[in-house]
Each structure stands twice: as structure tokens, then as C-alpha cells.
Amino acid sequence: MTEVELIRELDRLFSEIFRKGPAFGLGVARKDHVAWDSLAHMQLMLALEKRFAIELGMADVLKLQNGRMIFEFVLERCGNR
């Protein structure tokens, strides 16, 4: 998966989870959006696990608080799959 493909896929996931919330971008941050509450965050983390066939530990869930962190984390875990 290329970086552009990953960004598109993350944008799709964000659209599914945050229907009226933030669109995906490297600069989007949880602290800046009311729609990105704890429930939406867990839904996003589960969607990431399912879509990219990765496992997130509690430390990962707590760390992934913005678009750049999510992008870099998934890119690192998925490599060139």
C-alpha cells in the first residue's frame, strides 16, 4: 500500500466513524474535535485493527491521538502489504 492509498483508506475510515466530525488529515487531532470522543476513538481503533489486520495494545490506543501518529503507526505496521 502506498502512502497515498493509506491516506485515502484512513479518510474512508474517518468518514465512517465521524459522519459529522473531522475529515482525515495529518494535522487532525482528537483534542480539537468534540466528535472524536472516547467512544468514537475506540470505534476508530477497532476499525484500524480490522481494516489493516493489526493489533493495538492499550499503549497504542492511548498514543494514537492525531492523524500523523495514526498514519505513521499504520504505515510502519503494514509496510508494503
pLDDT score for 81:
61
For the stretch 8-64, pLDDT in tens is 999 999 999 988 777 889 999 999 888 899 999 999 999 999 999 999 999 999 999
Give the integer Cα–Cα distance in Å for 79 and 22. Answer: 26
Q: Domain 3-78 class?
A: mainly alpha
Handedness of CA 13, 2, 33, 31 (dihedral sign): positive
pLDDT number for residue 12: 93
Taking the domains of the chain in order of start, what are their residue ranges? 3-78
Taking the C-alpha atoms of residue 41 and residue 79, their distance in angstroms, rounded to an integer, is 23
Q: Is 7 helix (H, G, I), strand (E, B) or coil?
A: helix
pTM for the predicted model, two decimal places = 0.90
> For residue 80, is pLDDT > 90?
no
Residue 15 · residue 23 · CB < 8 Å: yes
